[in-house]
Amino acid sequence: MTRIRVINPNTARAMTAVIGGAARAVAAPSTVVTAVNPAMGPESIESHYDEALAVPGLLAEIAAGEREGVDGYVIACFGDPGLDAARELASGPVVGVAQAAMHAATLVGRGFSVVTTLSRTTGRAWDLARRYGFGEACLGVHACDIPVLALDDPGSGARETVAALCAEAVAADGADAVVLGCAGMAAFAGEVAGRIGVPVVEGVAAAVKLVESLVALGLRTSTRGEYAPPGPKRYSGILGDFTVPPS
């Protein structure tokens, strides 16, 4: 049995439910997925400010997961917030959904377009693409400018808007695959793929399969150097609970 914890780093429970559904839909029979979100932090992530402040809650969930013997983690926000810190804390592998989607897209196409929510987040998508090595494979990042929490509102027309933008993006970029750039689009992939005729990669599902794969391969984050567990440290104020005691 493989225990995978999928962490939605914002506090919107409805979105956590959608994400959990997408994760379970692709998980292997022997995988147990738990989808959680922190009790602290922003209700959605739509700026660097939100993203930075989502990390304490995310790390609290990783710490809880470690106490419960979780085998691997998915960070279910397309900015992959706190990925490096989470890797230090977790003994098993940690994969972000942007990372997972970009890795998978490069395995089925030459170059991908990203379709995301707000224009102000396109810079972050480019930063991640370059950080992961996909600065050339990423051919364009496009925003639909629908707020994150409106994505699953049936009245928003979000699916149609996203599908249409995906089609435009592929044509404009000369791409042969699409990456959906928000965990809130986790339920859209099949429908969009059906409409536009190229592979559409959704990060939550991709990340679950990559974590399962790493666990099956016996691969954990390296503890040599950068990702070694954080050393003992005293924390103050409202973050006092993050203190790392001497081991």
Of 48, 66, 159, 168, the one binding a second copy (CB under 8 A) is: 48
Site for a second copy in 110-169 (CB under 8 A): 110-111, 119-124, 127, 130-137
- Verify binding: residue 174, a second copy, rule CB under 8 A: yes
Nearer to a second copy, 14 or 228 (CB): 228
Window 76-105: contact mask with a second copy (x via CB under 8 A): ------x-xx-xxx---x-x---x---xx-
Binders of a second copy in range 182-211 (CB under 8 A): 190, 193, 197-199, 201, 205-206, 209-210
Region from 13-21, 160-168, 180-188, 222-230 binding a second copy, contact rule CB under 8 A: 222-230
Residues near 30 by Cβ (< 8 Å), separated by ≥ 6? 1, 2
Angle at 23 between CA 100 and CA 196, to 5 degrees: 65
List the one residue out of 66, 79, 52, 80 whose CA is nearest residue 230. Answer: 66
Neighbours of 123 (CB within 10 A): 11
- 39 vs 154 by CB, closer to a second copy: 39
If one counts every other C-beta atom within 10 angstroms of the C-beta of residue 215, the result is 18
Are 54 and 237 in contact by the 8 Å Cβ rule? The answer is no
Closest approach of a second copy to the CB of residue 88, in Å? 5
Which residue of 177, 180, 182, 187 would you call a contact of a second copy, by CB under 8 A? Answer: 177
Rounded CA gap, 203 and 183, in Å?
Answer: 7
* Interface with a second copy, residue 246, by CB under 8 A: no
Minimal distance, residue 58 CB to a second copy, in Å = 9
Nearest distance in Å: CB 215, a second copy? 10
Contacting range for a second copy; rule: CB under 8 A; set: 13-21, 38-46, 160-168, 179-187: 38-46
- Residue 39 as a binder of a second copy (CB under 8 A): the answer is yes
Q: What would the two tokens of residue 4 be?
A: 């995978």
- β-partners of residue 35 are 6
Question: Is 14 a binder of a second copy (CB under 8 A)?
Answer: no
DSSP 66-129: HHHT--EEEE-STT-TTHHHHHHH-SS-EEEHHHHHHHHHHHH-S-EEEEES-GGGHHHHHHHH
Minimum distance of a second copy from residue 19's CB (angstroms): 16
What is residue 7's three-state secondary structure? strand
Structure tokens at 226: 């950068």
Size of interface with a second copy, in residues (CB under 8 A): 97
Closest separation between CB of residue 155 and a second copy, Å? Answer: 21
DSSP state of 239: G
Q: Report if residue 21 touches a second copy, rule: CB under 8 A.
A: no
Query: Contact between 32 and a second copy (CB under 8 A)?
Result: no
